[in-house]
Amino acid sequence: MFFYLSYMDGQPTCLIEAMSAGLPVVVGDVPGTGAAEFVRDGETGLLFKTPKEGVRKLLKLLKDPGRMKTMGAAAKKYVEDHLTWEETAQTFDNIFHTLIK
């Protein structure tokens, strides 16, 4: 499991790496971190609003190894299916074209 507490991370590479390693993630749903773009709450990991909620979700997940395994597999598949080099390049291309206009 990967518990991610960052409040400011425009490109959460460590989160993507954890997911690609098949780890379920427990992540703060904070604007500006980019976490909510990658984490599907309840599927590839868990999102939380407050630290207290995050700890509760972390402890609950630790008590359920089967759910951890399922979420970790879903996280890995999400990265493999959606965060390819081609998709990433296309996303940046779209951003740059928008900025140029």
Among candidate residues 91, 70, 69, 88, the one with its CA nearest the CA of residue 79: 88
* 52-66 pLDDT tens trace: 999 999 999 999 999
pTM: 0.81
Where do the domains of the chain lie? 2-100
- Please report which confidence band the pLDDT of residue 101 belongs to, taking 50, 70 and 90 as the band edges: confident
**Which CATH entry fits the domain spanning 2-100: 3.40.50.2000, 2.40.50.180, 1.20.272.10, 3.40.1160.10?**
3.40.50.2000
Distance CA 95, CA 101 (A): 10
